[in-house]
Structure 1
Amino acid sequence: MGQETVYAIASGKGGVGKTTTTVNLGTALAGAGARVAIVDADLGMANLAGFVSLSPGSATLHDVLAGEATVEEATYRLAENIVGVPSGNDLSEYAATAPEGLGDVVDTLREDADYVLLDVGAGVSHETVLPLGLADAVVIVATPEPAAIQDAAKTIDLVDRVDGELAGLLVTRTHPSGDVPAEKIASRLDVDLLGAIPEDTAVRASLYAGTPLVVHDPESPAATAYRTLASTLAGDELETDGSGADAPNTSTDDSSTGGSPGTDSTDDDAPDGDTTDDETPEDGATTDAPTDDDASSDDVSAAITDAEADS
């Protein structure tokens, strides 16, 4: 393909919607006919499996990076045209991983996939910075909240430090009033704006259902915005029909698909559907805690200025 095909979905702050974006962007691309692989590159705090009700079998990305399994053995079919490579939740297995092997994993997946999406962990560490340089381009995810914008600026700086490429900024959990416009945030951070995902209660429902939003409620405002994001990144090579991909498999057996995106598999064990992670609730979720509306425009602008000064 004559464009970026490996995207790192990143942000320095947890809870801004990286995993939700990875899952729904990937599902939207797959629903339009592209072959997609999504990878849980958050090695220490894995959560991708729970977002799609996937219970990994005998192999995960941890095993691959420890030299104990192949990429094919840790690859699971989620739905038509889309596969996932989950990370494990065992800390002892995490300690045995060699993150440097992620490059080989990406190279293997891109042989069969039109798009590879890396769900990158929050914070600054070797394993979170590494994907920023491996990807063809990095999608920065942030909410209009001051701390998220500060961390987005730091992540942008990290991308530059590892000679990575920026795809642009995605602003999540936006409101029609009360927030600094996404365009202004992108302008002040000096990055292209890829899109804005509105606050949407359907996101929370999809998280608990363990089903991507673009399948769970395809006509919801946030689902529509994710399909628009897919079209923006894919350009003329993608024509979304608004239907999304098929609902993902909700069970696995003790073996992976061992195949490429679009291959079938038959699984037996029921999933745990666990969605407990540092991104739940996230973009579109509603809680009793203060919302992003509490941050004034002046606070956000100040946060951007401070972040620029720190970069």
Structure 2
Amino acid sequence: MNIPEIQAALEAVDIPQTERTLGGETAIKSIEERSDGLHIALQFSYPVRHIGTELANRVQEAVIAYTGDASIHLGIETDIGTHKVQPGVATIKGVKNIIAVASGKGGVGKSTTTANLATAMARMGARVGVLDADLYGPSQPTMLGVADGKPDQKNQKLIPVEADSGIQVMSIGFLVDTDQAVVWRGPMLSQALQQLLFQSEWNDVDYLFIDLPPGTGDIQLTLSQKIPVTGSVVVTTPQDIALIDARKAVDMFHKVNIPIFGVLENMSVHICSNCGHAEAIFGSEGGKNLAGRLNVPLLGQLPLSLPVREAMDNGTALQLLDNHPEIEQIYTAAAFQLALSVADKGKDFSNRFPRIVVE
């Protein structure tokens, strides 16, 4: 076999659902001719389980002309790194990348988006966590099906509750009576958020999604000043009122040097379950126009959907994506775009440098 020719053919292979190639991503780890055939090892800096079959087919088509009757053995690995955050904020042990999900306005489906993006990312092969920072109205335990869970304690740290999807979940909802109102002032909220994040024993999380409360108040300020955030997602509906508040969230992230990875438009259109008629109840293209003005990707446009509402109420996010391919496709495409955006950021090497103490 001519290994250089095989290398060149592999480098030209397009990665499914992207405009990238194996060569451009330096994803070819090794090519070896062995007694049982050709062994190819690929490595990616983002999860690719959802495109694994299609990618394998493209690799085979690219090299089969050079291998003759020899077998082709393909191995695909991921090595997700830790990427840069705000200046002066240290990364957290056990968490590689943090993605904040914000809306600026309540009722636009931010928590639903967080739960389903996290579930999609986990199905793609990543290790995922969710921190419920909406301390007044924690909903992630219910949406992810762990409302009855309680975090264990080990070495004075809380062990996040694990959902069926493998997602590690931490929420104030595990620690307080969900029927009781949380009547706390801003400093207590900020302290509670930091305790939930820093005093939890996160287990090698590639992507930690933080479900933020509406607005641009104390929680958001704490997030920007003390929590290492890799980037953010802004959720909105097409409605003008929601877009006004979404722009405030965007402005907040710009002021605190947190990049925006994209806009996700929720409730884009209502499709009648009886006749199939589609109607843009909340207006149209608002999220798309906002993404255009920001020069960031539109991650997706989600319809008003009865299955989504039922799944969030019943805590069956994983089953939702398994059973509804049209919904799964939108969330998976959005999660993949996020993973690519994170991978494109510069890596964080601060933990490789010695700590300097001035006495």
TM-score tier by shorter-chain length is 0.5 to 0.7
* Match for residue 339 of structure 2 among 221, 230, 234: 234
Residue 21 (structure 1) aligns with: 113
Residue 86 (structure 1) aligns with: 171
Between structures 1 and 2, the one with greater strand share: 2
**Retained in 2: the 8 A contact 1:16–1:172?**
yes
Residue 132 (structure 2) aligns with: 40
Residue 193 (structure 1) aligns with: 298
Residue 172 (structure 1) aligns with: 266
* Match for residue 161 of structure 2 among 76, 101, 108: 76
Q: Which runs of 5+ in 1 are unaligned?
A: 64-68, 239-311
SS state at 1:79 partner: coil
**Retained in 2: the 8 A contact 1:213–1:223?**
no
- Quick one: distance in 2 between partners of 1:6 and 1:129? 16
- The code of the aligned residue for 1:9 comes to V
Q: Which runs of 5+ in 2 are unaligned?
A: 1-79, 84-96, 270-277, 344-359
Residue 118 (structure 1) aligns with: 210
CA gap of 1:129–1:109, structure 2 versus 1, over 3 A, is: farther
Q: TM-score, normalised by structure 1?
A: 0.64
Alignment of 1:99 with 2:204, yes or no, is: no
- Quick one: distance in 1 between partners of 2:189 and 2:158? 14
**Retained in 2: the 8 A contact 1:34–1:81?**
no
Identical amino acids, percent of aligned pairs: 29
Alignment of 1:183 with 2:288, yes or no, is: yes
Alignment of 1:163 with 2:257, yes or no, is: yes
Task: Map 1:189-228 to 2 at 5 A.
Answer: 189-212=294-317, 215=320, 218-228=323-333
Q: 1:110: Cα distance to partner?
A: 5.9
- Quick one: distance in 2 between partners of 1:237 and 1:160? 17
Q: Deviations over 1:31-59 (max 9, x none)?
A: 12211110101112211112123235555
Structure number, greater radius of gyration: 2
Q: 1:128: Cα distance to partner?
A: 3.4
Q: 1:211: Cα distance to partner?
A: 0.9
Give the alignment's Cα RMSD to 1 decimal.
3.3
Q: Deviations over 1:151-180 (max 9, x none)?
A: 100001111222222112111111266443
CA gap of 1:168–1:97, structure 2 versus 1, over 3 A, is: same
- Quick one: distance in 1 between partners of 2:181 and 2:188? 10
* Match for residue 130 of structure 1 among 214, 217, 222: 222
CA gap of 1:2–1:235, structure 2 versus 1, over 3 A, is: same
SS state at 2:323 partner: coil
Task: Map 1:254-273 to 2 at 5 A.
Answer: none
- The code of the aligned residue for 1:54 comes to V
Task: Give the number of aligned pairs.
Answer: 230
Q: TM-score, normalised by structure 2?
A: 0.56
Mean CA deviation greater in 136-145 or 120-129: 120-129
Q: 1:76: Cα distance to partner?
A: 0.3
CA gap of 1:217–1:201, structure 2 versus 1, over 3 A, is: farther
Q: Which has the higher contact order (CA 8 A, sep 6+)?
A: 1
**Retained in 2: the 8 A contact 1:42–1:128?**
no
- Quick one: distance in 2 between partners of 1:187 and 1:150? 15
Q: Deviations over 1:259-306 (max 9, x none)?
A: xxxxxxxxxxxxxxxxxxxxxxxxxxxxxxxxxxxxxxxxxxxxxxxx
- The code of the aligned residue for 2:320 comes to V
**Retained in 2: the 8 A contact 1:139–1:168?**
yes
